Amino acid sequence: MSYCLNPNCHNPYNPTTNKFCQHCGSKLLLKDRYRALKQIGEGGFGKTFLAVDEDIPSKPDCVIKQFLPQAQGTTNVEKATKLFEQEAIQLDTLGKHDQIPKLLAHFEQDGRLYLLQEFVDGQNLAEELTEKGVFNEQQIRQLLQSLLPVLHFIYKHKVIHRDIKPENIIRRRKDSQLVLVDFGAAKFANEKPLNQTGTIIGTPGYAAPEQGFGKANFSSDLYSLGVTCLHLLTNIEPFQLLDASNDEWVWRDYLNHPVSFELGQILDKLVQEAVKERYQSAAEVLQDLNPAGAAKPKRQGLKLVEIGDKYGYIDNNGQLIIGLHFEKGRHFSEGLAGVKLGNKWGYIDKNGRWIIPPQFSQVGDLCEGLAPFKITQWLGMRQKWGYLNNQGQVVIPPQFNEALNFAEGLAVVRLGSCWGFINLKGELVIQPQFDKAYSFSQGLARVSIGLKWGYINQSGQMVIPPRDNGRDFSEDLAAVEINHKWGYINQKGILTIQPSFNAALDFSEGLAPVLQEIKLLKLLNIGERWGYVNKSGGMLIEPQFEWALGFSEGLAAVKKNEKWGYINKVGLMIIPPRFDLAGYFRDGMAEVVMNGACRYIDKRGNFIY
């Protein structure tokens, strides 16, 4: 179906094959490539249509915005035109962020202005609220964690959105990531006010009070984000949540689910009427939201600790639960941990009881119900690897020269000098043929033939041809090396971030550490530094660190001035550099090394053990 874009056409529906409207004769394709399919929205500035780009073989969906201002009078139309033109500028500037739609085109045709942008396939939060009901605290925290870095990004470009509301936040279907849309009301922070008489900016109820006077600032968007959270928590319209007679928010009266004191304080500060009493930046909100400012986490698991030459396990409060009895230890996985007593390995449970007595020369982790083990002798065979279950029963007899943990139903094993893959029954499903192989991640495994690395699927087919080097897939992207530079490919092997970095690590929580040369005035090379890019390749945290790890639980370990500390997702140093080594946060704790001793810290940087 083709949809005629002539606003005066009384019957806009046409067969897909038509190039001209059969009712009014208007040209159906914009720029001879964009075909409208149906109208999906209408507002004060015009109409929005779902369309396809027929110039690209896959015919991807896109969005057409047609400028048709309803404002009356020359002055008001001029203001509306400026806003529409401005939206194109905003998208062109901001579309590098993975959570903002990309601008595809901007032009005039048949005397009307058009804007073409990326189509975000998903459901907006207003629709999600209607379909699934009110949000709980965890969902609100996830929303804030996802969108605050986006606001930080647009503020770095001096842009204020001015119309944040549930309808303008879309949960992208392919990855559940939140995308901020509709920059039609956005403005640059150094512009003169546009919303004088006759031009409405923002949505009543969500817009901050100062927007009514043409004085929007960065905290205005934070106000709107706060109101959005209150609406999603209650499913009550914003005007009803504000008691005008007492000038106070009464959103707690409408809650179906309790909200913690900490989150309630954050939401209250977001929606303060007075600008000076409100959060002034997205970074400030993230600082309060992330557990760097929260209480100690509840006990969720046990952590391996080493004191002297002995190993034991502590809980998240630093209490020693399983004493320092062992020569070596592994982390808990599926309820069991491998530990070494004397010169043999076995497995204990979280109460410290032996589930599988010490009898192996080496062990791996219990994954998908099986754990690899190495035994000195088994039915006349020496130094071979097999697999056992959580009761200690041998499920796959020792027969491999090396064996790794199971992942996605398959495990990497070595027979002779070549690597292949077995299933949970021990059957070779991908014959040993690779010089090296790694576990499956997101349906693909990295393998090498000679000095080149490619990716196979679970049938053993090489679906992404070998390149110089590569890393495993994470969050649908993998780092690859081409001609001594690193970039990122998607699961079809297409380069989505061109090779331009000296090194690149995996994506986690939407960001990846990359190593880049730093030059002063484009002439003096002052060395290499690590920074962080998003999935579109935009540098969200500028290169400044001597080393960097991926994000976990909102924080990432970075090395600066020879010491390690932790930053949040907008690059603020939350835990100052003072450690010799630092690891990832898990269940609110991270392992660090200081003065030669292994310790654990919480998200405030305080030592737990």
In sequence order, what are the beta bridge partners of 598? 593
Measured CA to CA, the distance from residue 431 to residue 422 in angstroms comes to 9
* Residues 410/423, Cβ–Cβ less than 8 Å: yes
Query: 10 Å Cβ neighbour count for 586?
Result: 16
Query: 10 Å Cβ neighbour count for 416?
Result: 8
> Residues 120, 125, 126, CA angle at the centre, nearest 5°?
115
Residue 533: which of 523, 525, 524, 543 has the closest Cα?
543
Residue 163 designated active-site = yes
Strand order in the sheet with 410-415: 402-407, 410-415, 418-423, 428-434
Query: Three-state DSSP class for 597?
Result: strand
Q: What are the CA-CA distances from residue 28 to residues 48, 110, 125 (Å)? A: 15, 11, 32
| Contacts of residue 322, Cβ cutoff 8 Å, sequence gap at least 6 | 302, 312, 313, 348, 350, 351, 352
Measured CA to CA, the distance from residue 225 to residue 143 in angstroms comes to 10
Structure tokens at 415: 């027979």
Measured CA to CA, the distance from residue 233 to residue 478 in angstroms comes to 36
Name all contacts of 26-29 with Cβ < 8 Å and 24+ positions apart: 26/110, 27/109, 27/110, 28/2, 28/3, 28/4, 29/54
* Residues 233/142, Cβ–Cβ less than 8 Å: no
> Residues 269, 570, 226, CA angle at the centre, nearest 5°?
25
Measured CA to CA, the distance from residue 396 to residue 423 in angstroms comes to 10
| Contacts of residue 315, Cβ cutoff 8 Å, sequence gap at least 6 | 299, 301, 302, 303, 321
Measured CA to CA, the distance from residue 447 to residue 437 in angstroms comes to 4
Per-residue DSSP letter, 367? B
Residue 466: which of 436, 429, 421 has the closest Cα?
436
Catalytic residue among 163, 221, 506, 602: 163
Residues shown for the chain: 609
DSSP count for the chain of H helices, then E strands? 7, 49
Measured CA to CA, the distance from residue 360 to residue 343 in angstroms comes to 9
- Residue 436 in marked binding region: no
Residue type, 404: L
Measured CA to CA, the distance from residue 355 to residue 361 in angstroms comes to 17
Q: Is 491 exposed, middle or buried (0-12, 13-18, 19+ CB in 10 A)?
A: middle
Structure tokens at 113: 């202005």
**Residue with structure tokens 């576990």?**
439
| Helix or strand run (H / E) with residue 436 | strand 436-441
Return the active site residues: 163
**Which amino acids are annotated as binding site, given as ranges?**
65
**Which amino acids are annotated as binding site for ATP, given as ranges?**
65
